[in-house]
Amino acid sequence: MSNFIPEDFGIETDYRKFIESGIATENNLRETISELYDVKKEEIVFTTGGSEAIFIAALYFRSFSKRALIPVPEYEPMFRAPFSIGTKTFLVEPDEIGSTFNHETDHVMMSNPNNPTGDGKLSENIKEILETNPEKLFIDEAFKDFLFSKKPYTFQSDNPNLIASTTMTKFYGAGFLRLGWIFADKTIAKRIYELKMLTSGSLPIHSMWIGNQILQHRDLFVKNVKRKIS
């Protein structure tokens, strides 16, 4: 979504008002996301946008998985991230994932809906991995809100060993916040949080304050996006 003007949606951005509010910003945002997505608060790790979430997921897998399989076509950071840290990275046709995947050595990184095609269907090969080895699967869900489900949904809520991520950049058009988050089981989330602290540290709480307001006004954004694409 382009030309995002926060005030048009009742979003307050003034820094003085943020300071005066005196609210526990990160806790409030975590609570909002937890309620929206039906996930536990300890299963949320904030990231500096969606690309960092992909990079941190790649770092996490690097410690115990030798190869990254990327179904193609795919968003460039999805294969650049594992490749940049020395993980053997393979671009694989979707119908070849099943025959290529080795549960002992491999992990799969992908987006759903797919970036760039927009396809929101999971292939049978990915469904099988999701069922048998969800701990070896990362899904970037940055475009899932464009499916216009009644409530936001993450695959991680039904598959706790899966790692998923999203961002406020795509659907909400709030890339200026550099705000994203990862969903993961609390044990995995703890390790991911440790990696996050080694990369870019904590997020600006002013951005989190604005992001929380945006999510609380989600219905307005849904209406706006539907209007723009109709």
What gap in Å lies between CA 177 and CA 191, rounded to an integer? 24
What gap in Å lies between CA 176 and CA 46, rounded to an integer? 15
pLDDT score recorded for residue 150: 87
End-to-end CA distance of the chain: 13
Strands (E) in 74-173, as ranges, are 88-92, 106-111, 137-140, 163-167
Q: Any idea where the domains of the chain sit in the sequence?
A: 6-225
pLDDT tens digits for range 178-210: 999 999 999 999 999 999 999 999 999 999 999
What gap in Å lies between CA 57 and CA 165, rounded to an integer? 9
- Going by pLDDT thresholds of 50, 70 and 90, the confidence category of residue 3 is low
Closest Cα partner for 67 from 102, 111, 114, 112? 102
Task: Enter the CATH code of domain 6-225.
Answer: 3.40.640.10
29 touches 211 (CB < 8 A): yes
pLDDT at 54 over 70: yes
Q: What is the pTM of this model?
A: 0.96
